[in-house]
Amino acid sequence: MNTTPLGIHIPDANPEDRAPQLRIMALDIDALFARVLPTVLTADANAVSSNALTPIVTPVMGSQNGLTRNVLSGISYTFETLLFITATDGEGLQIDLNGGSAGMTWIKAKAKGYDGSSAAAATLAFVSPTITSLSTPFGPQNAFSGWVEIEGSFVPSGNGTFIPRIAQTAHGSGSVQVLKGSTNVAH
């Protein structure tokens, strides 16, 4: 069997082997799209649905399971994560990438946050230092309503999931929520 540049096997002309070859081609296509299609949050964090995310009201990190990506050991991935977030009462926001089950051989990423809380154009609220650990927290230390863009690459050390986490920096009365339209793409 020959393969395409994307690694998809193409059945040959031998009709006796066609069924298993088509099965191999179908598995290749499934694997390709499992790594490329984005996970899109289709409900706000406080909505009732299978993709609902619970508002965070504590400085303890909470996984955003509606943004889960499955990853395979030893494969190089690049990722783009876009989080639409509202954090109330000036208690700050912290984010990390340690919500999933996959450990990492290595990771390198950067994050930028844009505050969109005013009627004027959004302003750059923070730029993270280079992220080289899943559990390195980053984010603004004040009230924040806007979006965070995280881009980077990684190689998992085992099969599992890749999920961002969020928390308040401190807690008095407010909450942090990830909103509808947030995405997590790993390819």
Q: Can you give the pLDDT at residue 119?
A: 62
More confident of the two residues 31 and 182: 182
The reported pTM is 0.71
- Contact 143/85 with Cβ under 8 angstroms? no
Supply 69's token pair. 């990506």
Average pLDDT over residues 135-151: 85
- The Cα 35–Cα 27 span in angstroms is 13
Average pLDDT over residues 162-186: 81
Backbone angles phi, psi at 17, to 5 degrees: -105, 10
Burial of 15 (0-12, 13-18, 19+ CB in 10 A): exposed
The predicted-structure confidence for 119-134, as pLDDT tens digits, reads as follows: 666 788 889 999 999 9
The predicted-structure confidence for 50-63, as pLDDT tens digits, reads as follows: 333 455 555 567 67
Task: Tell me the Ramachandran region of residue 17: left when phi exceeds 0, alpha when psi lies from -120 to 50, beta otherwise.
Answer: alpha
Q: Where are the alpha helices (DSSP H) in the chain?
A: 18-36
3-class DSSP state of 133:
coil
Kindly list the structural domains of the chain, giving each domain's residue range(s) and its CATH number in brackets, ordered by start: 2-36 (no CATH), 39-186 (2.60.120)
Describe the chain by its helix, strand, coil percentages, rounded to 5: 15, 40, 50
User: Nearest CA to 84 among 105, 114, 62?
Assistant: 114
In the beta sheet, which residues pair with residue 184? Answer: 39, 81
In the beta sheet, which residues pair with residue 167? Answer: 94
